[in-house]
Amino acid sequence: MTTVDTHRAGLSLQRLSRVDRLLDSYVDRGLLAGTLGLIYRRGETVYCNAFGHRELGSGLPMTEDTIFRIYSMTKPITSVAALMLFEEGHLLLDDPVSNYLPEFEGAQVCTGDLDNLVPPDRLPTVKDLFLHTAGLSYGWDQDSPVENLYRQSFGNREQLPLDKFVQKLAALPLLYHPGTRWRYSYATDVLGRLVEVLSGKSLDEFFRQEIFKPLAMTETAFQVDATSLDRFSACYCPPGGFSFGSDPEPDTETASVSSDEGGRAEEPTIELFEAPRDSRFTKTPVFLSGGGGLVSTIGDYLRFSQMLLNGGVLDGQRLLGPKTVEMMRANHLPADLVPIAIGADAHPGYGFGLCGSVLVDLPATSTPGSVGIYGWGGAASTQFWIDPQEEMLGIFMTQFMPAGYYPVAREFRVATYQAIVD
């Protein structure tokens, strides 16, 4: 619902109705089970509306307190945790990772095949972990024999404690010399382990004590509490299923969807990927993934995003200094590594900072916005972005694998910016 005078926030109420139509259309066409969008500008939540269902089988509606798998929207939280320790003097960004995680001391680079390993031109640094320039990967691609080693090594990653996972990861060759390429990777999971080592706390404990409690993020955790399970959304995928890393294959149960005419569609447009009760997020995690392990609500993620938009402070609780946030949201990649791309999925106009992607070339995006927008998304099609120039942020939530299958997050951005009139 719209909660304030939108004119005061410089948005047109009439034009915001286009956001409603956009998000509702994905539900009405049966492309998504439910959608939830939020727009915040000039200190006010000017838009927050939910459409459809968080679980089709039960008929439970999508609501503002729905709990989502935020996957890689965990990464900015881990980055903030590491930057808090940076501010406390525990590390410098240009320090070699091996200063704190000695398992990386013997890093070798694969130069073509596994029989041709050479020492790196330089050791991967802490900053490389933030930027995904450390020589690591996720094992998704086919362009290096090291990718296959990732697939062989981490089929059971959810059963590995974080320290054991990082030790196993460090034993694999690097895919490239650090700093010479950008590749989306487990780097943020290594950063999470760095937080543990430097703070003396487990990652979940650090998050809870140093970030979630000060920001009153009561719904964000590595596990959905049993008392909140009815608010945990189901996750969906295209017909025929979708394989996500080492996670289980989608359930074969087909979701009930409607055709454009309002009746039941002859062919399903989405299938159930994961029911709430079957999710690993309902179980105590072994692997505390700083790269993708959290669940959250739109309200909690708003508080985290507000803190960043405010320069590191919210309701008197300061997590970071404003100059650190300024550095965090700047593009740190050299021109030859811009734009970033995940596999064949290029992100025209975007570099990368210490907290996610950073818009450096507005025309290249073909989308309205501002130079300096930063943010990131998650594998289940969640996304957030912060625009310091417009004093604005947006959060889009749904649960559909894979991210990018529909252009809905980008369309949400267009619908948001077209509503600005002041």
pLDDT, one tens digit per residue, over 183-208 is 999 999 999 999 999 999 999 999 99
| Confidence at residue 370, expressed as pLDDT on a 0 to 100 scale | 98
Residue 267 has what pLDDT?
A: 64
DSSP state of 96: B
Domain with CATH 1.20.58.710 in the chain: 91-201
Domain 7-78+213-244+266-418: assigned CATH number: 3.40.710.10
- Separation CA 317–CA 304 (nearest Å): 11
Give the pLDDT mean for 219-230. 97
Element (H, E) at 274: strand 271-274
Higher pLDDT, 3 or 230: 230
- For 91-201, CATH number out of 3.40.225.10, 3.90.1150.10, 1.20.58.710, 1.10.260.40 equals 1.20.58.710
Q: Is 140 exposed, middle or buried (0-12, 13-18, 19+ CB in 10 A)?
A: middle
To the nearest 10°, report the CA torsion of 54, 59, 60, 64: 50
| Dist CA 3 CA 289 (whole Å) | 35
Question: What's the mean pLDDT when you consider all of the chain?
Answer: 93
Count CA atoms within 13 Å of residue 140 on its CB side: 15
pLDDT band, very low/low/confident/very high, at 259 (cuts 50, 70, 90) = very low
Query: pLDDT band at residue 268, thresholds of 50, 70 and 90?
Result: low
- For residue 303, what is the enclosing H or E element? helix 298-309
Pick the more confident residue, 399 or 156: 399
What percent of the chain has a predicted confidence (pLDDT) above 90? Answer: 89
